[in-house]
Structure 1
Amino acid sequence: MLERFYQIVDSPDWLTRLCPQGLRLAQLRIKDKSHGDLESLTSRALQIARAHQCTLVINDHWQTAIELGAEWVHLGQEDLDVADVKAIRKAGLKLGISTHTEAELDRAQAHDPDYIALGPIFPARGKQVDYAPQGLDRIAQWKTRISCPLVAIGGIRLEQAAEIYTAGADSICVITDVLADADPEARCRAWLQASSQ
């Protein structure tokens, strides 16, 4: 069963801070690093996560995930163009896939993912995205069409958590709402409390 709160981080240092707060599901999203740096950072992140019984999902870098014995990988639609999903499955990894449109949902489902992410639910705060906000109704629609857990992501604040869970999301994934907070540890704890109700 997927945890109800899901945090994306860009460094193992965040796991050092947030895992002790009780974080049990995180994604490591590292961009623009050499292979050596990527391998080193991913290895360290896996060590920290495992020490805290936190499930770590590796974003994009499926070969590194396989090499280091990770349990999960997350692919965006553009990553599906180049990823070897058969190799990912043969290695025993679980798979999450991003979706934004009906066509992308159909494509994702063809890979029998372990979760499907839908976003952005609200206007994204942390990065430029090419898709309009999906809104709560789309969560409910997606939920009726899939058999795996549904992850809501994009522009979400803690104060919106209850309505997103009510709409049908199994898990809520955030970046900015915790990492840009004045007290990320406290914000993470508040998310964990909200997601346990």
Structure 2
Amino acid sequence: MRLYALCDQELLDNRGLSLEEFLDTAKLHNAEILQYRNKNADIAFIKQQLIFIRKNYDGFLIVNDAYELVDFCDGVHVGQEDLKAIDEDVFKAVKILRSVISKEKILGISTHNEEEVFQANEMDLNYIGLGAYRDTATKKDISGVLGSKLDEIASKSKHLVAAIGGVKLDDSFSSVTYHVIGSGLIK
């Protein structure tokens, strides 16, 4: 299993954990990628957190949504709704994002079903997040849980696939490159 650690600031705050504690746990589990997500802070705070992570973590660093901060990390991850906020046409939105973040940076998007995976196959991406695998308390807006269908749908992607949503350290997939785990790391 290859680990993609999702560091959600709201979850850290709710559990009284520091960013440093999360990084220690991610390193303990050999996380290759860390995504920093903060849906509530201003850009200056997110930038400060990215700088701290970069100083204390050697793996790939991805920022969620805040593509204007891509110079402080290795790439950007964007959800479907956030893509549509850039442009209603998700293909155009990815082209806009790619022009902003350049080819040297990682670009990933969330997908939730076979149709979105097929759309992603036509986009200039490095990976997709696919899920939710199971229900999770950290996401309130899960529209559909894929369960055992996740692996089959993942096999249709031309991009690397990161399983998202309720994934646990002991889950096993054959068509998935990364397990994205956030709350499961910090119990």
The TM-score range, normalised by the shorter chain, is 0.7 to 0.9
Q: Relative to structure 1, is the Cα distance of residues 122 and 20 closer, same or farther in structure 2, using a 3 angstrom cutoff?
A: closer
Output the CA distance in 2 between the equivalents of 1:123 and 1:19. 22
Output the CA distance in 1 between the equivalents of 2:38 and 2:140. 16
Deviation for aligned residue 1:109: 2.6
Query: Normalization by structure 1: what TM-score?
Result: 0.75
Deviation for aligned residue 1:40: 1.2
Contact 1:125–1:154 (8 Å) recurs in 2: no
Identity, % of aligned pairs? 23
Match of 1:57, as an amino acid? I
Aligned mate of 1:80, from 65, 79, 83: 83
Match of 1:39, as an amino acid? K
Output the CA distance in 1 between the equivalents of 2:49 and 2:83. 23
Look up the match of 1:5.
3
Q: Does the alignment pair 1:98 with 2:101?
A: no
Q: Does the alignment pair 1:44 with 2:47?
A: no
Look up the match of 1:26.
34
Gaps of 5+ in 2: 10-18, 87-92
Paired residue secondary structure (2:149)? helix
Contact 1:19–1:54 (8 Å) recurs in 2: no
Q: Relative to structure 1, is the Cα distance of residues 116 and 31 closer, same or farther in structure 2, using a 3 angstrom cutoff?
A: same
Q: Does the alignment pair 1:176 with 2:183?
A: yes
Paired residue secondary structure (2:167)? coil
Output the CA distance in 1 between the equivalents of 2:26 and 2:111. 27
Write out the 4+ residue segments of structure 1 that deviate beyond 4 Å after TM superposition: none
Look up the match of 1:151.
162
Q: Relative to structure 1, is the Cα distance of residues 14 and 105 closer, same or farther in structure 2, using a 3 angstrom cutoff?
A: farther
Query: Normalization by structure 2: what TM-score?
Result: 0.79
Contact 2:67–2:101 (8 Å) recurs in 1: no
Q: Relative to structure 1, is the Cα distance of residues 19 and 157 closer, same or farther in structure 2, using a 3 angstrom cutoff?
A: closer
Contact 2:70–2:101 (8 Å) recurs in 1: no
What RMSD in Å do the two structures reach over aligned CA positions? Answer: 2.1
Gaps of 5+ in 1: 182-197
Residue range with higher mean Cα deviation, 93-102 or 14-23: 14-23
Paired residue secondary structure (2:98)? helix
Task: Please give the per-residue CA displacement for 1:139-177, whole angstroms capped at 9, x wherever unaligned.
Answer: 22331x222211111112234x13xx23x2111111121
Instruction: Work out the number of aligned pairs and report it.
Output: 168
Deviation for aligned residue 1:9: 0.7
Match of 2:54, as an amino acid? L
Paired residue secondary structure (2:118)? helix
Residue range with higher mean Cα deviation, 104-113 or 145-154: 104-113
Q: Relative to structure 1, is the Cα distance of residues 89 and 176 closer, same or farther in structure 2, using a 3 angstrom cutoff?
A: same
Output the CA distance in 1 between the equivalents of 2:75 and 2:21. 18
